[in-house]
Structures are given as structure tokens and as C-alpha cells.
Amino acid sequence: MSTSDDNDDFPASKLERSKIFAKTGLKVGKNYAQYLADRVTGRGGDADERREALNTQNAEDLFREFSRLRGTALKLAQSMSMDTGMLPDEFMDVMAEAQYSVPPMNKALVRKRVRDALGQFPERLFASFEPTAMAAASLGQVHRARLPDGRDVAVKVQYPNVRETIESDLAVARSLFERLIGGGDIDAHFEEVRTRLREETDYLQEADHIDFFAEQYDQGDIVTPRAVREFTSETVLTMTYVEGRHLDAFLDDDPDQATRDHYGQLLWDFLHEQVASNQRTLHADAHPGNFLFREDGRLGVIDFGCVKTFPQDFRDDMLRLYRARIDDDPDAIEPLLHDLGILHEDLAPAVRDEIRAFFDRYGSLIVEPYRQSPFDFGDAGFRERLQDCFRAASEMREVVGSPHFIFLNKALVGLLNLLIQLRPRVDTTRSVRLIDDELERLGVAPVA
């Protein structure tokens, strides 16, 4: 296939990508029209079966086109695959493929991308280089290789034109989002997303993130890669190879409860060490493709493109809100909700009451694991209550909260999704102590 044909596989212009979005919308509309016709005529099984078939067909059509678009569009598909209760189960089954299964670049294009980025074809740079990708994701694909010094590495090669697609995809996403939202200023929220996406397309920035997390956390039970700078550029990232299985393969072996508990503990503690650290820097992409369950009992953490460093005041207010929730102190909660932009004076009284009621419900649920230890994430009641909250959130039509919540929520929802699938019993006493110590440093008294 020629280079021009290769690039045609990665539509970059706003016009090209808008056409694909429109085509997908027409497919979904056609599926829905057929569903309505079948409902009128009674064809296609009972009502539940017809609805399930509609959901599955729509999800397959969306995933097929998002996989072709890659970039920001596929990032959306990955977010949709989180089991948050906002989408039907049939969407979860299909869209979860976005974590692992994306059409890869062909071998000729991979060679060209490496040569353009590093100056030579991969077979000249590496002692060995697997031309077939071991994994393909939203922004790039990963190949196994070996350095001349004998180290095994993973080489991430970015798709063509990815950075150029950010603005066009965000423009489409914004137009769709504005149809669903009735109030609030979304400019700052979209700017936050734009900033993180631009960082994710700069692999030199990701190499900095890898080095930071390796220095802070690559010890004991956590394993991270190391960046190999002399084989890294803005569009090709080389890092030491981390062995391990993804969550789906790990669960296929039906691990016993003690093993589930062990890895659940590592996931829980890893997040809380970041939140309680004075570095305030968070691995914000907690989806299953970014964690590896290793034979030696350690947890591998990979993919450091989506990393968020929070402002000091936002992080500290979040910890204070946690304390106020633990204390059930409405007088402390109220001003913090204002400081964090969740409540503000421009809200109509009815809307304000609705938002306050939702965040009281959601906040009380989030602190449940801290109130009882060990906490059982296999508890079906907890999962159902969490899904109910996510459904309620999807029905809200007001943009509220600081833009910094976007990637905090991404990490939190991702962690909860992982733990609900893993079903561990987690000892939360250490995480409570870490947060209490940080609050003490901030001058906030511990719970009596």
C-alpha cells in the first residue's frame, strides 16, 4: 500500500472526520428506525430482545467508525467502555474492545514513522523489532523490540496526523455536548481536555511522566517502565518492557479471593499514594489496558500519556471535602462545594437544590469504603448504588465543578470500575492514614 493510501486510513481534516461522524449518526438513526418499525409490526422477538439488538448494533457501528478515526474519537470510545451505568450493558460488551483491539498500521507505514521520527528504519536502530503490533490503542500502537545492549523494550509509534485531529474532533464533540447541556460555561472544561490531549500526543512529555513515576513508585509491589531517551521523539516512545497480563486475561484464570484481594489492595493504595503526595500528580487513565497483573505478585503500571498535576488549592479542598463527608458536617461541606465550583450563585434555586442533593448522595457513597475496613468491592449493593449515581449524573444538564474534576473523575471512575470487576476486599486503613497525615500537615484536625 502506498504512503498516500496509508494516510487515507487516518482521516485528519475536519471535513473528512465530520463526514465519518455524520455517516455514523445516519447508521445509528437507521438502526433506530428499523427498531421502531419492528416494534410496530411485532417482528424480531420480544421488546427486550429488540432493544438489546438495537443497542448491540449501534455499539458495533460506533466502535467500527471510532476505530477508523482513532485519536480523540477513540478516546471517547474508551471512556464509553467504562461500566458507569450511563450506557446499556450491550454497549459495555462491544465498546470494551476499545481497550485492547484497534486496527493497526501496516508494516510499511510503521517503518516510515520510525524513520521519520528517529532518523533510521527500525531494523537498523534495534537488535530486533517485531513488525506486528502487540497492542494498538487510540493514539498509537506498541511493538516489542530489543535494544543493541540486550534490553527488551516496548516501542510506541504514534499514528499519522493525530495531533491535527484534536481541534476538529473537539469541535464535533462540543457541538454534540452543547445539545445535551442546558447551562454552565463549558469553555474551561474543553480547554482542560484540549491541554491533556496535546500532552498525550507529545511522547517526549510522556517520557518525562515515565521518569517521574518510576522515581516515585517503581519499588516494592509496583513496577513501571523506564524511558529510553536516545530512542524517543515526539512521535516514537521507547520504554523498557514490563511483563504481565491485562485484567481480562487475569480474570479468565478465575483467581482465588486472596489473589483478588492482593491486587485490589495494590490498585487502591497506588491511587491514594498519589492523591496524598505533595507532588499532587496523578496517573489519570485508570482503564484496564494500563495495568498488568504479574506472576511475581507485583502490579505493572504502564502508559503515562494522561497525567494530571492538580493545583495545590484544588487538591487541598478535595481532601477537606473528604474530611467533611467523613464527619457528616454540612456546615463544612457547603462552602467547599462553592470553592470547588459545584455550587454558585447563578444557579436557579431548584437546580441548586438538585445539584446539592446529588453531590450529597454521591459524596456519601464515595466515602463508604473509608468507613469500613476491609471493604468488599464485590458487594452488588454498592455497585448498584454507584450505577444509580452515574445514571443520575448523566441526566443532569448543568456544567458544574472545576475543570480539574475531569481527570480526577476519570481516575476515580476508572479505579472503581477495575475494583468492581476484580471484586477484592480492600483494607482501607492505610489510605485513611495517608489522607489524615496530609490533612494534619494542612492544619485540618482529624476525625474525633
pLDDT digit string, tens, across residues 333-379: 999 999 999 998 888 899 899 999 999 999 999 999 999 999 999 99
Q: Report how far residue 296's alpha carbon sits from residue 244's, in angstroms, rounded to the nearest whole number.
A: 9
> Number of structural domains, the chain?
2
Query: Going along 127-285, which residue ranges are E strands?
Result: 128-129, 135-136, 140-146, 152-158, 222-223, 236-240, 281-283
Higher pLDDT, 30 or 375: 375
Counting every residue, how long is the chain?
Answer: 448
Question: 442: domain range?
Answer: 244-448
Last residue of a domain, one of 99, 120, 144: 99
Residue 220 lies in a domain: no
Q: Residue 376's beta-bridge partner residues?
A: 425
Last residue of a domain, one of 99, 133, 148: 99
Residue 200 lies in a domain: no
Q: Report how far residue 306's alpha carbon sits from residue 196's, in angstroms, rounded to the nearest whole number.
A: 7
Residue 267 lies in a domain: yes
Ranking 175-184, 236-245, 263-272, 283-292 by mean pLDDT, the lowest is 175-184
Residue 207 lies in a domain: no
Residues 6 or more apart in contact with residue 37 via CB below 8 angstroms: 43
Last residue of a domain, one of 79, 99, 119: 99
Higher pLDDT, 421 or 71: 421
Residue 252 lies in a domain: yes
Over 90: is that where the pLDDT of 255 sits? Answer: yes
Residue 302 lies in a domain: yes
Q: Residue 427's beta-bridge partner residues?
A: none
Over 70: is that where the pLDDT of 201 sits? Answer: yes
Q: Report how far residue 58's alpha carbon sits from residue 24's, in angstroms, rounded to the nearest whole number.
A: 9
Residue 87 lies in a domain: yes
pLDDT digit string, tens, across residues 81-99: 444 444 555 555 555 555 5
Residue 95 lies in a domain: yes
Helix (H, G, I), strand (E, B) or coil at 166: helix
Question: Is the whole-model pTM more than 0.85?
Answer: no
Compute φ and ψ for 358, nearest 5 degrees. -65, -45
